[in-house]
Amino acid sequence: MLLTSLLLTAAANAQTAAPPADYNEQQNWLCRPGRSDFCATDLDATVIAPNGKTRIERFKRARSPSVDCFYVYPTVSTDPGPNSDLVAGEDERRVVASQFARFGSVCRTFAPLYRQVTLTALRSAMAGKPMEADRTLGYRDVLAAFRHYIENDNGGRPFVLVGHSQGARMLQELVQAEIDGKPLQSRMLSAMLIGFNLQVPSGADVGGAFKSVPLCRSSQQTGCVVSYVSFRHDLPPPENSRFGRSQDRGQQIACTNPAALQGGEKVPLEAYLGTGGAGFSAAAPPPWIRGGAKIETPFVKVPGLLSGRCVANSSGSYLEVTVNGNPADPRTDAIVGDVIASGAVLKEWGLHLIDVSIAQGDLTGLVRSQAAAAKKRFQR
């Protein structure tokens, strides 16, 4: 997954611009309300207490939510070309389940397919062999999908934008073009642009990438942005880091901890982690409970195991994640989420693979709080 200029390297003589996808076509959506689609998946979680005891948390989908969530997924396509096609597959299914479907507990879910720059192109670029990709094609698709949603589905409802990595880059461009300082900003509860280098002036909450969309600093605040990149507390961004470091003087990378929007000391994170790990680019997870029964649900919750705080120091500006392991209890003392290549951790990526998962309960809780705040203001 990625989102730097290296990720999206394209030849100067890129292909003639193709038209955007047609979002009247149902197959060009991964998720839409009222369908049995990629968002209608098993999201039950096993809650594992520090003493190793477990209970099942059943996922409850919102019946009549007043809010919509619009999602753009990260770099996941393993299609052989530099741009993906518009055929949904296992790559898209997995990421929707791990990052977005849970938002169905608080909102109607919308997620378009788009012709992103692929993992194939990313890996080629990292190997010094960039492929010719249309770096604007994905954004043209996302823009067309969003406009289709606003014109045909929104009906004046408040909405949340959710994106990770390449998806967050797409949504940054969309906010700049369609929302920032415009009437739609009053309808946007928040833009969750995660795993992406969103720039703000050092020490400020507004400016940089956006003219009038500030960082969220309260669960009652709307029309704002949540953004962070995550690194382990003992593996901060290195000098060659892809995330957390700004190259522009006077700018830093935004960090809003969804579990503590005002900042401060580290606080527990409400994580929903994949039982089987963080994907094929990560290490295999250790047993969740030493000597315990096999976990049967697709997700686990490990209360108190993870905590986080936003820091800004010589290493960068990022969400510092601490694993509070205890060797004396039977629960795991480790999580996976680092990018692994040839058996080695790529420190410059941080915990990119689980940026969303480590605070997913906090993110959905924030949507719930923002929706309630917006409803109160509307009723006045």
pLDDT (0 to 100) of residue 12: 35
Per-residue pLDDT reduced to its tens digit, 320-370? 999 999 999 999 999 999 999 889 999 999 999 999 999 999 999 999 999
Residue 16 lies in a domain: no
Q: What angle do CA 245, 272, 270 make, to 5 degrees?
A: 75
- Which residue range is the domain that position 108 belongs to? 26-379
Residue 150 lies in a domain: yes
Given a cut of 50, is residue 13 above it in pLDDT? no
Amino acid sitting at position 273: L
Residue 8 lies in a domain: no
- The encoded tokens of residue 46 equal 């096993």
pLDDT (0 to 100) of residue 6: 37
Residue 312 lies in a domain: yes
SS3 of residue 35 by DSSP: coil
> Domains in the chain: how many in total?
1
Residue 6 lies in a domain: no
Q: CB–CB of 142/113 below 8 Å?
A: no
pLDDT (0 to 100) of residue 15: 43
Per-residue pLDDT reduced to its tens digit, 259-318? 999 999 999 999 999 999 988 788 899 999 998 788 999 999 999 999 999 999 999 999
Q: Are strands 29-31 and 108-112 parallel, antiparallel or unpaired?
A: antiparallel
Given a cut of 90, is residue 254 above it in pLDDT? yes
pLDDT (0 to 100) of residue 145: 98
Residue 243 lies in a domain: yes
Residue 18 lies in a domain: no
- Please, which residues have CB within 8 angstroms of residue 114's CB and are 6 or more apart in sequence? 21, 72, 84, 138, 141, 142, 145, 170
Amino acid sitting at position 195: G
Q: Could you tell me where the DSSP H helices lie in the chain? A: 90-95, 119-126, 137-149, 166-174, 360-379
The model's confidence at residue 16, banded by pLDDT at 50, 70 and 90, is: low
Average predicted confidence (pLDDT) for the chain = 93
Mean pLDDT of 11-31: 80
Rounded to an integer, what distance in angstroms lies between the CA atom of residue 161 and that of residue 118? 22
pLDDT (0 to 100) of residue 129: 85
Mean pLDDT of 85-98: 95
Residue 5 lies in a domain: no
Which of 67, 7, 56, 60 lies closest to 33 in space, CA to CA?
Answer: 67
Given a cut of 70, is residue 9 above it in pLDDT? no
Per-residue pLDDT reduced to its tens digit, 157-183? 999 999 999 999 999 999 999 999 999
